[in-house]
Structure 1
Amino acid sequence: MEEEPLLINKTIKKIEIWFRATGTNVKSTPKTRMDTIKSRAIYIINLLWLNMDLSGAVVWFISGIANKKSFTELTYLPFLIIYPFDAFTMKYWPWVYLHQIWSEVVVIVGLGAADYLFYTFCSNISVQFQLLKYNIEHLIPDDGTCGRLPNIEEIRTEFVDLIKWHQDLISSVKLLETIYTRSTLLNFVSSSALICLTGFNVLAGSDFVYVMTFVSFLFLSALQIFFLCFFGDLLLNSSTKVSDAVYNCRWYLAGTSLGKDLLLVQIRSQTPCKLTAWDFSEVNLKSFMKILSTAWSYFALLQTMYGSSP
């Protein structure tokens, strides 16, 4: 009888097409040479495609400085792109339009797929910690006396399995940390700058439609970093609840040997399994508040220096 795929595999399968659009292959099955060539080709095309946008935006920014544009004009988002030809002629406009649309698709899919996969992994590991907590709490039945449990060997066997389960979860968190730690740091740093500049543009703008565009962008920028911190905080808190489970598992009914082993598990689980931004900051709701505080400090400085500038 064929085994039913795990829920986490079903979830990844649903968003696999979005990873393919960015040139990333997340198949768990062995990859053929053709699969590798396809993913590499799409990745290289997207890399060159986006670097054209980046180069055009850098040229626009440098030309703005050379033309002595104000700070407010230089920080209008999104940055414009300067092409080496007239992009508004019918000869080039369809290709320019296609180029910009696909650039947006690649960026949105690249950010969305990676973030949603992060949320999925954090949720799945958090649920596993909750299940582990439940099993530890019900490890020792309430039908024996201290040191005289009738099925002590069965309990010890189950306890060993729970320890292996806990070790697997700890390894999963470390693997998730390895994958996302650097991109999380980039998200933390860029979010402070984006929230600051977007808030400044909201106050500097006079057109209602223009201002509302930046208000929505400000909200989504804050929401993205909030979700990263929220799921990181969820994972951290669920990992520490294993310690409470050991305390509530009626350890006083167990023998001395099993009691000492339970104490070791409790001590280890008091050290939370956490995700970090390349060891600079933990990924939790406290970090989210720090990001908002940093963005507000930068915003207040810009408002003081350039708030009255034309």
Structure 2
Amino acid sequence: MTSLFDDSLRKIQFLFKYSGMHLELKSSKTIADIIRYRWLYIINFLWLNTDVIGEIFWIIDGAANGKKLSELTYIAPCTTLCMLANLKSIFLILSEDALTQLTKNLREMERSEDGSENMVKDTIIEEQRSFLNVVISALNFWNAMTVIAFSLTPLVLMAVEFRKTNEVELMLPFLIVYPFDSYDIKYWPFVYLHQVWSSLRCAGSKI
């Protein structure tokens, strides 16, 4: 049977996996796997931070051109969360050996307790496991809702605007400065997908 620890770990591992991180990378993967995960992390890191840099430039440009504080603070929380996600992912990579050892120790602790009969202990473990699963499920749910809201809001607003004016006004989830016209129909689909993936990458790193 899958251990309680592994069962809980599996609920969050997929977010780390597709961000190029792994909770037990060196102990369970080959050199080729490690290289592949490293490249995936670097690509995701660069992908996300092109948007973070663009957000910072948008804030600076807005402040220089007299935008209202309410307009400037619209994108600031997103930038802050992305920077937090960056820091967390970097520290996970730097502390990979310690993290691998920690997961190994926790798994061994659970195995060492297998077979022991203690009703009080079993009750506490089951209660805490249920609570942990609720927390993980809640985090996954709200992260998913956040990504969906940011991804779909521009499309909804575009549909509303089209119904009013019968004209298509292209919009994007985030206010970001690019070295090209991101609202040009030639670039807009790519930029839109780029921003959606960045929000997924940010959500994954926050877990």
Q: What is the TM-score normalised by the length of structure 1? A: 0.33
Q: Please say which structure displays the higher CA radius of gyration.
A: 1
Q: What is the TM-score normalised by the length of structure 2? A: 0.48
> Per residue, is there more helix in 1 or in 2?
2
